[in-house]
């Protein structure tokens, strides 16, 4: 697995933060009817169970919002991806349909309330550190253009920032050519279901993306 660490500054401001990291070899496809049917069923259940006002009260979402505030970022203006996706689901808008890997990642996120990154590991250069974004750092977010990552928890490698719980970057995004995949799960509250969520994600990757050669670990 690519070496990953959490900076001392992030640890001091978010002492309960854990990263559940999964790396594997897989296949990306745009044809995945069985997974789409599963997603349809799961989203219907979520839509029936939740209203928008409930989302911020989900323990994993609530802890993530507190983490953002501790770092100096407004979680209402820069929503964590799990919260933004859940709001779409509850409003009946569904999830974005991208490819099998991104879609199963998003399914895992809305079911758990954990924000999750998804990266082409071969586009990452050197070791990774989760640190705090700085003002005026260039960061092209997927589907959003330039994103102000100041005070956001931010993954960076030798080339600079490439991922955050609000939005991943274009530079390391998953494409049909991706074969080596890295999936970090953000557990801001130290909740004890992280291992269970990781096992579920691995099962989905095996079943719907031919995932193999798995490596996983929890960082804190």
- The predicted structure's pLDDT at residue 202: 98
Burial annotation 48-61 (CB, 10 A radius, 16+ → b, else e): eebeeeebeebebb
Q: From CA 121, how far away is CA 124, in angstroms rounded? A: 5
- The predicted structure's pLDDT at residue 77: 93
- The predicted structure's pLDDT at residue 100: 98
Phi then psi for 58, rounded to 5 degrees?
Answer: -65, 130
Instruction: Provide the residue-wise pLDDT of the chain in tens; the chain has 220 residues.
Output: 999 999 999 999 999 999 999 999 999 999 999 999 999 999 999 999 999 999 999 999 999 999 999 999 999 999 999 999 999 999 999 999 999 999 999 999 999 999 999 999 999 999 999 999 999 999 999 998 999 999 999 999 999 999 999 999 999 999 999 999 999 999 999 999 999 999 999 999 999 999 999 999 999 9
> Could you tell me the sign of the dihedral formed by the alpha carbons of 138, 168, 118, 67, in that order?
positive
Indicate which CATH number applies to the domain containing 183. Answer: 3.50.40.10
> Do you know the residue count of the chain?
220
- The predicted structure's pLDDT at residue 189: 97
The long-range contacts involving 172-175, CB below 8 angstroms and separated by at least 24 positions, are 172/119, 172/120, 172/123, 172/124, 173/119, 173/120, 173/142, 174/28, 174/98, 174/99, 174/101, 174/102, 174/118, 174/119, 174/120, 175/28, 175/120
Q: How many domains does the chain have?
A: 1
Structural domain including 142 reads 4-219
- Specify whether the CB–CB gap between 95 and 108 falls below 8 A: no
């Amino acid at each position: 697995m690519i070496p990953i660490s959490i900076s001392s500054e992030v640890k001091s401001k978010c002492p309960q933060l854990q990263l559940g990291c999964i790396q594997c070899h897989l296949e990306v496809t745009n044809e995945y009817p069985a997974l789409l049917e599963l997603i349809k069923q799961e989203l219907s259940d979520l839509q029936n169970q939740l209203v928008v006002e409930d989302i911020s009260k989900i323990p994993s979402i609530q802890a993530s919002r507190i983490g953002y505030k501790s770092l100096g970022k407004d979680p209402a203006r820069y929503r964590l991806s799990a919260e933004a996706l859940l709001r779409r689901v509850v409003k009946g808008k569904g999830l974005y349909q991208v490819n099998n890997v991104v879609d199963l990642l998003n399914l895992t996120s809305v079911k758990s309330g954990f924000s999750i990154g998804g990266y082409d590991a071969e586009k990452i250069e050197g070791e990774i550190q989760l640190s705090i974004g700085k003002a005026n750092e260039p960061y092209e977010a997927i589907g959003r253009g330039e994103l102000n990552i100041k005070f956001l928890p931010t993954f960076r490698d030798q080339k600079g920032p490439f991922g955050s719980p609000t939005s991943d970057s274009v530079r390391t995004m998953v494409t049909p050519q991706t074969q080596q995949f890295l999936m970090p799960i953000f557990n801001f509250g130290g909740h004890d279901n992280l291992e269970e969520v990781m096992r579920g994600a691995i099962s989905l990757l095996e079943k719907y993306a031919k995932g193999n050669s798995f490596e996983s670990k929890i960082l804190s």
